Amino acid sequence: RKEVEQDPGPFNVPEGATVAFNCTYSNSASQSFFWYRQDCRKEPKLLMSVYSSGNEDGRFTAQLNRASQYISLLIRDSKLSDSATYLCVVNQGGKLIFGQGTELSVKP
C-alpha cells in the first residue's frame, strides 16, 4: 500500500464546476499535511496547509480527518487556470511524502 494515495485522474471539468479531490495516508503518526499544485514540467507550489479545523482560501477548501486518515481539497467555481496536477503531501518526521498527484483539466 502506498503511503499517500490520491484519486486517480485525470479530472476533466467545465469552467465553474466544483471539484473534490480525496487523499488517504497510511501512517497515523504523520504530523502535518499540505496540498501542493504542480504545473507541467514545473516545481510544486504550496497551495495550502491542511488542518483538522478546516482551511479555506478563496475558492479552495481543505479538510483533514485524522481519525480516518483522510484529506480533501474542494475547488469551487473552477477556472481554466486551475488546470494542473494537485499533490497531496504528508509530513512524517520532517520528510515530505508525496502522493502521485491528481491531474485536473478545466475546459471552457
Partner 1 sequence: GAVVSQHPSRVICKSGTSVKIECRSLDFQATTMFWYRQFPKQSLMLMATSNEGSKATYEQGVEKDKFLINHASLTLSTLTVTSAHPEDSSFYICSAQTGDFDQPQHFGDGTRLSIL
Q: Are 100 and 94 in contact (CB under 8 A)?
A: no
CB 55 within 8 A of CB 62: yes
Q: Which residue of 1, 28, 29, 41 would you call a contact of partner 1, by CB under 8 A?
A: 41
Burial of 64 (0-12, 13-18, 19+ CB in 10 A): buried
Q: Which one of the spans 7-15, 16-24, 58-66, 97-105 is the region binding partner 1 (CB under 8 A)?
A: 97-105
Question: Which one of 9-17, 18-26, 72-80, 96-104 is the stretch in contact with partner 1 (CB under 8 A)?
Answer: 96-104
Q: Write down the least CB distance from residue 83 to partner 1, Å.
A: 17
Go through the chain and tell me how many residues it has.
Answer: 108
Given the rule CB under 8 A, which residues bind partner 1? 31-32, 34, 41-46, 49, 87, 91, 93-101
